[in-house]
Amino acid sequence: MNYKLVIVESPAKARTIGKFLGRTYKVEASQGHVRDLPKSQMGVDVEHDFEPKYITIRGRGEILEKIRKDAKNASRIYLATDPDREGEAISWHLANVLGIDPSSACRVEFHEITDKAVKNAMKSPRPIDMELVNAQQARRVLDRLVGYKISPLLWMKVKKGLSAGRVQSVATRMIVDREQEIDAFIPEEYWNVDAKAQLGKQKFHVRLVTLDGKKAELHDAAQAQAAKARVERAQLTVKSVRASERRKNPAPPFTTSNLQQEASRKLGFTTSKTMQIAQQLYEGVDIAGEGTQGLISYIRTDSVRVSEEAVADVRAMIAERWGDGYLPEKPNVYKGRTNAQDAHEAIRPTSVTRRPEEIKDSLSKDQYNLYRLVYLRFVASQMAPALYETLTMELEGDGVGMRFYGERLKFAGFTAVYEESQDEAQEAVDSEQVAANVGDAVVIAEADAQQHFTQPPARYTEAALVRALEEKGIGRPSTYAPTISTIIARGYVTREKKRLYPTELGTMVTEMMKEYFKNIVDIQFTAGMEEQLDEVEEGKMPWKEVVSRFYGPFEQTLENAEQKIEKVKVKDEVSDVVCDKCGAMMVYKLGRYGKFLACPNFPECRNTKALQVEIDAPCPKCGAKLLEKTSRRGRKFYGCERYPECDFVSWDMPVRDTCPVCGSYMTQKRGRKGELWHVCSNETCRHRVEVQPPEEGQDE
């Protein structure tokens, strides 16, 4: 029996599409890539215009054999892999294996897996887009050149097991740089003076903003108490009252990075988990009473564009469910990032009639939560703005200037459905409203001075790192999740309470890369490479020219590194600890979680010991010795040798000095310019003393 063969990537998608197309079609899955560069060799012929050598991926032989057999009996073959660079490349490889002319109408794209979308797509096959394929080949070859040239060099010259990657090394550098910023941060003390005010029977809160016509900058308790006393004595009157309306517009529908960020913030998902669940929703879920349906559109996109049909459907639903007041006069149109690719729509539900709560029983908990997130974000994106009444009131008297700001929700608009979350906590806004006129006298009932300290930049969460990578032009929608997974798997970065920390290994490799391979870990250089790959996709530049431009300077960098890296070759340092299994003197080794002791007779003797480094300060709690330790996630901390009897721990290294202000123990910090500070550990004090830097030639 003759049939038409459709080849997709995943078995789940094959099952869904097979049900839509019926018996005259046979749908098979390639299960991802079928050919790639060999693992045992570089696989790129540098001498012959960077020609790649592709081989069948190990384990894909049986899959390819079945596809070949099905292809022989098929009246026509359609290549329907994912609609992106990787998918286009998979189709091209399949065409090569099956002897299909890439310029023939053999390629089909499914931007959503629904009955209507699949059948419409089958009516419009096209040739394979070689510009997309070449953009993927350029990325693959560049990544292979970097990985296969630098990693063995680091392995041979520096330390066994080290490795580097084109995008991963930049991401690791960003995390290392942020940690160094945090380590160098010295908190600055500042104070706010707030007060309870009364106007007639109305009570409200105000904040000190000016003293004697200048901005009130209070840096210590004495200044704060003096300012507080002036506030309490001041005869204040209303200088100005400004009432206005604030509009808050909805966020656009999800791009890949937005979805990863919001799923991290709202659902606690890692980037890889978000993409795994989103892939399931895209490929199809068995819905009671409907059969298998793709619930969301294609999930790898950086576009905020939405089809006219989808906009019309959601606007009709908004008018019906919430009323015309919640519907803008014209559809909301969003502007994407400057370098965004517009090949796909934003991520949206395939049907707004399929409400999350109505299909909840057909979904797993994670599927339901992510689908609901996509659904509500899309619906809200086409709703009216939220409106807030705002009031700003300035008070003045006796050289004291104070301010009241309040806002109150007037019309919920899109916030009735969905509000975007933030990485960092936002300062609360007073919801009070006050009726006042210029010249009214205001009485200060009570004032309060509050101590604060400037905060270091926050460590990256996965969501914040994805946003930073996107803003800097590093990587593309399909690369964010695998990049983060890779640097964690390599032991360069750890994840602790959603925050990303560099390991000692990650820091060491990054510093080495910054010294010998500046361009590879340079953010602007890597972003420029991404732009060139986009130009290949747009047909503006031959892919081998991009590789050639990169490889010339890269080869010179390699030659320089080969000559110089020998100077920093890491030798195992011998300790004074005797191996209790074979009697040899144990050596210091560097693992993903920092230093440890190992027997030099490995592999004959595999004895290892955790390393305990004593620091020159007593335990602030019991006076015993303090040890430098490493957490299970690779983060350095300091703890008492008597643990668990004494549970003292500190992320910052304690010193012998005590705070001259409050008597708490102090910790050591190094400033941005290399200066040393001792900083009080008491969060309500944070007194700091600069330590005289050591003279040249002396130890610290």
Give the model's confidence band at 154: pLDDT under 50 very low, under 70 low, under 90 confident, else very high.
Answer: confident
- In the listed set 568, 585, 617, which residue is the last one of a domain according to the structure? 568
619 in a structural domain:
no
- Checking if the pLDDT of 427 tops 70, the result is no
More confident residue, 379 or 84: 379
More confident residue, 156 or 539: 539
Nearest to 157 by CA among 571, 653, 526: 571
Are 553 and 519 contacting, i.e. CB atoms less than 8 angstroms apart?
Answer: yes
> How far apart, in whole angstroms, are the C-alpha atoms of residue 21 and residue 25?
6
pTM score, whole prediction: 0.81
> How far apart, in whole angstroms, are the C-alpha atoms of residue 300 and residue 237?
58
Mean pLDDT of 384-401: 96
- Checking if the pLDDT of 589 tops 90, the result is no
More confident residue, 642 or 635: 642
- Checking if the pLDDT of 456 tops 70, the result is yes
Q: What is the largest CA-CA distance in the chain?
A: 97
Residues 276 and 342 in one domain: yes
pLDDT at 88: 96
Residues 61 and 176 in one domain: no
pLDDT at 164: 86
Long-range contacts of 652-657 (CB under 8 A, 24+ apart): 652/679, 652/681, 653/615, 653/617, 653/628, 654/615, 654/617, 654/620, 654/626, 654/681, 655/616, 655/617, 656/616, 656/617, 656/618, 657/689
Which residues are paired to 190 by β-bridges?
Answer: 452
Is the Cα torsion angle 256, 257, 258, 259 positive or negative in sign?
positive
pLDDT per residue as tens digits for the range 196-238: 999 999 999 999 999 999 999 999 999 999 999 999 999 999 9
CATH number at residue 21: 3.40.50.140
3-state secondary structure 479-509: CHHHHHHHHHHCCCEEEECCEEEECHHHHHH
Residues 170 and 224 in one domain: no
Q: Tokens 């799923």 appear where?
A: 263
Residues 196 and 262 in one domain: no
Helix (H/G/I), strand (E/B), else coil: 427: coil
Angle between helices 523-537 and 543-564 (to 10 degrees): 150
Angle between helices 462-472 and 256-267 (to 10 degrees): 160
Task: Show the beta-strand stretches assigned E in 553-602.
Answer: 573-578, 585-591, 594-598
Mean pLDDT of 277-289: 94
pLDDT at 648: 92
Is the Cα torsion angle 560, 565, 566, 568 positive or negative in sign?
positive
Amino acid at site 63: I
Residues 498 and 585 in one domain: no
Instruction: Please give the structure tokens belonging to residue 498.
Output: 């959603």
Mean pLDDT of 625-650: 83
> How far apart, in whole angstroms, are the C-alpha atoms of residue 298 and residue 165?
28
- Checking if the pLDDT of 612 tops 80, the result is no
- CB-based contacts of 89: which residues, under 8 Å, 6+ apart? 33, 132, 133, 136, 137, 140
- Checking if the pLDDT of 424 tops 60, the result is no
Report the 10 Å Cβ neighbour count for 373. Answer: 22
Residues 243 and 305 in one domain: no
Q: Is 553 exposed, middle or buried (0-12, 13-18, 19+ CB in 10 A)?
A: exposed
Alpha-carbon distances of 480 from 254, 301, 342, rounded to whole Å: 15, 12, 18
Q: Tokens 């990787």 appear where?
A: 86
Query: How far from the centroid of its chain's Cα atoms is residue 341's Cα?
Result: 19
More confident residue, 695 or 137: 137
Residues 364 and 512 in one domain: no
397 in a structural domain:
yes
pLDDT at 561: 85
- In the listed set 568, 591, 620, which residue is the last one of a domain according to the structure? 568
Residues 449 and 472 in one domain: no
Query: How far from the centroid of its chain's Cα atoms is residue 209's Cα?
Result: 36
Instruction: Please give the structure tokens belonging to residue 631.
Output: 């957490």
Give the model's confidence band at 698: pLDDT under 50 very low, under 70 low, under 90 confident, else very high.
Answer: very low
292 in a structural domain:
yes
Q: Is 439 exposed, middle or buried (0-12, 13-18, 19+ CB in 10 A)?
A: exposed
The kind and range of the H/E element at 404 are: strand 400-411
pLDDT per residue as tens digits for the range 100-111: 999 999 999 999
637 in a structural domain:
no
Helix (H/G/I), strand (E/B), else coil: 72: helix
Amino acid at site 46: V
Residues 114 and 260 in one domain: no
- Give the range among 37-41, 129-133, 251-255, 394-398 with minimum mean pLDDT: 37-41
End-to-end Cα distance, the chain:
83
542 in a structural domain:
yes
Query: How far from the centroid of its chain's Cα atoms is residue 540's Cα?
Result: 30
- In the listed set 410, 426, 453, which residue is the last one of a domain according to the structure? 453
Total domains in the fold of the chain:
5
- Checking if the pLDDT of 693 tops 50, the result is yes
What Rg value do the Cα atoms of the chain yield, rounded?
A: 31
Query: How far from the centroid of its chain's Cα atoms is residue 28's Cα?
Result: 34
Alpha-carbon distances of 687 from 220, 254, 586, 648, 649, rounded to whole Å: 10, 45, 42, 21, 20
pLDDT per residue as tens digits for the range 550-573: 999 999 999 888 887 765 555 677
> How far apart, in whole angstroms, are the C-alpha atoms of residue 431 and residue 308?
39
Residues 442 and 512 in one domain: no
Which residues are paired to 658 by β-bridges?
Answer: 665
Catalytic residue positions? Answer: 298
Q: 470's torsion region: left (phi>0), alpha (psi -120 to 50) or beta?
A: alpha
> How far apart, in whole angstroms, are the C-alpha atoms of residue 527 and residue 540?
17
644 in a structural domain:
no
96 backbone dihedrals φ, ψ, rounded to 5°:
-65, -45
517 in a structural domain:
yes
pLDDT at 344: 80
Instruction: Please give the structure tokens belonging to residue 173.
Output: 């550098």
620 in a structural domain:
no
pLDDT at 103: 96
pLDDT at 284: 92
Nearest to 492 by CA among 157, 168, 145: 168
- CB-based contacts of 697: which residues, under 8 Å, 6+ apart? none
pLDDT per residue as tens digits for the range 68-93: 999 999 999 999 999 989 999 999 99
Domain that holds residue 333: 256-381
pLDDT at 696: 40
CATH number at residue 391: 2.70.20.10
- Checking if the pLDDT of 318 tops 90, the result is yes
CATH number at residue 550: 1.10.460.10
Helix (H/G/I), strand (E/B), else coil: 19: helix
649 backbone dihedrals φ, ψ, rounded to 5°:
-145, 150
- CB-based contacts of 142: which residues, under 8 Å, 6+ apart? 166, 529, 546, 547, 550
Residues 375 and 492 in one domain: no
CATH number at residue 314: 1.10.290.10
3-state secondary structure 497-555: CCEEEECHHHHHHHHHHHHHCCCCCCHHHHHHHHHHHHHHHCCCCCHHHHHHHHHHHHH
> How far apart, in whole angstroms, are the C-alpha atoms of residue 568 and residue 582?
30
- CB-based contacts of 55: which residues, under 8 Å, 6+ apart? 35, 36, 37, 38, 43
Residues 538 and 554 in one domain: yes
Q: 490's torsion region: left (phi>0), alpha (psi -120 to 50) or beta?
A: alpha
Q: Is 644 exposed, middle or buried (0-12, 13-18, 19+ CB in 10 A)?
A: exposed
Q: What mean pLDDT, rounded, does the chain reach?
A: 90
> How far apart, in whole angstroms, are the C-alpha atoms of residue 465 and residue 463?
5
Alpha-carbon distances of 41 from 44, 165, 339, 411, rounded to whole Å: 9, 16, 35, 63
pLDDT at 697: 36
